[in-house]
Amino acid sequence: MTIEEILQCLPYGPDFLFVDGLDHIDQNGVRGHYTFNAEMDCYKGHFKKYPVTPGVLLTETMAQIGLVCLGIYITADMESCRGRSFALTSSEIEFRLPVFPGEKVTVISEKVYFRFGKLKCKVKLQNKEGKEVCSGTISGMILKTDA
C-alpha cells in the first residue's frame, strides 16, 4: 500500500485530520508530519494571551500518524479501507514543550506489537528543531464497521 493510499483511507474529515503527510512507513513504524493552522478555533481560548496547542490535539496527532496510519499499512493485506475503523484504547503521554500556532511537528512511531487486532506503539512528537515535545505509548484496536 502506498503512502497516498494510506492517506486516502484515513477515517477523518478535514476539520479533524491531523496528518499532512508521511515521510516513511514500514511494518515496524512510521514517520509523518503536520502543521497546526494558526487559525484553529482552539487557539482563541487556550490560552487567551498565550495560545498553545492543547495536549489532547498533540495526542490525537500522534494517534492519527503513529497508530492509525501504521495500522492501515500493517493490515493492508488483510482488509480494504472499507468496513473498518480504529479506536484508541489507551495512551500514556508525557508533555515537555509547548507547540504554538502555525508550528510544524513530526511524529515518530515504533511498533511495540500487533496482535489480535490491537496495535501498541511507542510514539514521540518533535518540533521543527527536532526537540521532543511529548512522548509515550498509544494503543488502539481495529474495529469492523458496517460501512
What is the set of domains in the chain, with CATH numbers? 3-144 (3.10.129.10)
User: Which residues does residue 109 pair with via DSSP β-bridges, in sequence order?
Assistant: 30, 123
Kindly report the pTM of this predicted structure. Answer: 0.94
Which cell goes with 4?
Answer: 497516498
Among 10, 17, 40, 46, the active-site one is 46
30-64 pLDDT per residue, tens: 999 999 999 999 999 999 899 999 999 999 999 99
77-103 pLDDT per residue, tens: 555 677 778 899 999 999 999 999 999
Q: Compute how many other C-beta atoms are within 10 angstroms of the C-beta atom of residue 143.
A: 11
Of 61, 132, 133, 126, the closest CA to residue 98 belongs to 133
Active site residue 46: yes
